[in-house]
A and B are shown apart, each in its own frame.
Chain A
Amino acid sequence: MIGKRPGSSKPSGATFADRPRREAPPKAPARKPANRLRTGPDPRTQRPGSGNRPSGVGKAARFTAWRRHHLAMAADSLARLLAAPVGSLMTWAVIAIALSLPVALYVFLNNAQLVSSNWDGTAQISLYLQDNVRDDAGRRLTQELQLRPEIAETRYLSREQALAEFKEFSGFGEALSYLDDNPLPAVIIVRPSVIGVDAQQALVQQLQLLPEVEEAQLDLAWVKRLYHIMELGQRMITALGLLLGLAVLLVVGNTIRLAIENRRQEIVVVKLIGATDAFVRRPFLYTGIWYGLGGGIMAWLLINLSLFWLDGPVRSLASAYASDFSLIGLGLQDSLLLLFGSTLLGWIGAWIAVGRHLGKIEPR
């Protein structure tokens, strides 16, 4: 409540420091000794002719008062939200759902990335050798390559083996047997140990430079698809995040607009008796902050409950593939980021509502 005083009010013996005389005043003289109401312990009188600024209170005192009002408004706006728990919970839930969608996608993508990087069979590179490279040279090269750190495993396929494999898998076996010559080159199959399309692409370019190699080819289909899906996922997070962030702004903005409308009379009165815009704004900005923070906390709970719920099945599934994979959740940093972001959204939403609606409420 704007300026509402917490606590009780016990009457004390305090009286007007300079109580006016009770007897009838003298007949309206045109001038009187300058404003005696202003004498007394009031520190403001120490600055004469204090123009039009927050009357002569010192900087430190003004800061104390400012902080006091901030604390009071933070507490008061929270108390107001808690006093209407159903409505507040609904707003928090809407914010939480909006926030948890992109965050859930983000968590899913993190896990997918982890799975795919754990997967060794991601990519393979085929090195087609020059025709003039003999079998023993090919085998030697295969062993040399095996020693490189960026390569996990190598396998040599002689021309004959290549033909045999081709016959087996292609279904053209019959047709090939009519050819006099084996048209296939010898191949070294390389499984890279480096992860990521870029690193693997670089490895291919290195291998291409080997004199024995006619052509080096990265079997990209799988990796590329995964990579593109990841990129798509990331863009979806961004788009969803922007869209649903906007939704949060609108929800908070609209809720604050109603709060402003409900307190119209109060706003008019405090403006009439000298409240600054900042003073009038403050409770509503705190309301926005509480909506944002509450929504963020609820989103965090939603995500973690879902993860907890999914973790069992995921573990069983992983163990079926002889993997000890388990879901990773939101780390501390991501969690704090979520709470900070949601609070910020609430605050911005409140600012938008306040900027649009508070200025229009003027005493008339």
Chain B
Amino acid sequence: MYKPTIGLEIHIQLMTETKIFCGCSTEFARVPNTNICPVCIGLPGALPVLNEKVVEYGVKLGIALKASINRFSSFYRKNYFYPDLPKGYQITQYAIPIAKGGYLEIGPAHQNRAGSQKKKIRIEKAHIEEDSGKSIHMGDITESEFSLIDFNRSGIPLLEIVTLPDIETPDEAYDFLILLRSIVRYIGVSMGDMEKGAMRCDVNISVSKDETMGTKVEIKNLNSFRSVKRALEYEIERQIGALKKGERIVQETRHFDEKEDTTKPMRTKEELNDYRYFPEPDLPPLVISDEFIENIKNTIPELPNTKEERYIKEFEISSDYARTIAYHPKLAEYFENIVKYVGIKMAKDVANFIMVDLSAYLNETKKEIDKIDFTKEKFKELLDLIDNKTISRNIAKEVINESLRTGKTPSEIVSKKGCTQITDEDGIKKLVIEVLNENETQVKQYLSGETKVIGFLVGQTMKKSKGKANPELVNRILYNELENLRK
């Protein structure tokens, strides 16, 4: 049995209003080199001043990761030359990070996935550092006639999180990352989008047959959660294949090719870097008080993995829906708000309507859940209409849709459209008899014991009623009529 060991190094852009060491805005700017000043482009004589908000966000994320916050930490200079690194060094925490230890518990959703139990992924440390500028090339770096540098990103605060090698499958890596993304969104410290670079991830992976450690391979250029998973899947397969053939795994950095879904050795030979770390003399040590930490602790909301578990236990909603709603802060807020109003018993129904009908609408219109006008009152109206059998679930879908588009309340729509459910038994009976006459084959099948065809016959009856018939009634009448035929 080959066992993969995976570690992640994640860089999270903290969404403070200003950069880490200067007053420049962190807002996305379309025009390059507009959010810059002497500090973040490394002009001679400029000095860094630590943005306190960065410390706050760092501590916040540290607490959310159950890490211990260092009351005393410090900054170092990591020295290396690169055009997008304006000072020739990066200011980063090195010997003492702001947070150490901690863990994230992944699972328990996705029972369909093998071995998807709760699992702790331990965090080694989390430290604060500054982002570099961005090099822009014409096509491939090796062929570009020029390099352009945009320093708008230079000095954006980052929190680097390093995990211990507890992850064993690509799915676990994926689960860890989406949970982390959800957490940073809940506590409001980052956008968390990998596609936009707000969260960046490098992975380390080794595969071994026995208890000895395999050879560590690093993979870079992972620009989406899917890429992380795909790269790991490919790399595990590649390494196992190589090991089976008796080949040796080379310790190297590989590059993920998004188009081919493969990893390739980095073309540029990585030089053995000596970063000559030494304490940053321009910044005094970072001292954090207990009070500061306590105040931040009180601002941390219920986190998505706890929510997910609660939804499954308390509301009995499906694990897939529970995760999707719980991991999305706005969706969860909306959901909980509705459930609180309509009662826990209806939670399952609420989840279904949100996940199927509201989601479809949101996807189609590219709207955020907090920008729509389907209030808790409207939701309750809708559920009541179903409950008192005024409308069927099918009709309810239409009602939601129309309400979303027009802003009308469900009862307004129902009374205007005349889409009230057909609840008179005689009317339905008429339809049922028509259906039975038209579908002799299925009736025979039923009578010969294939009772599940009743579903088909219910469908046909509903169709005839244009979805207006109360499905429970249709079911009951159909059953009665069929059983009568048996006699």
Q: Do A and B come from one complex?
A: no
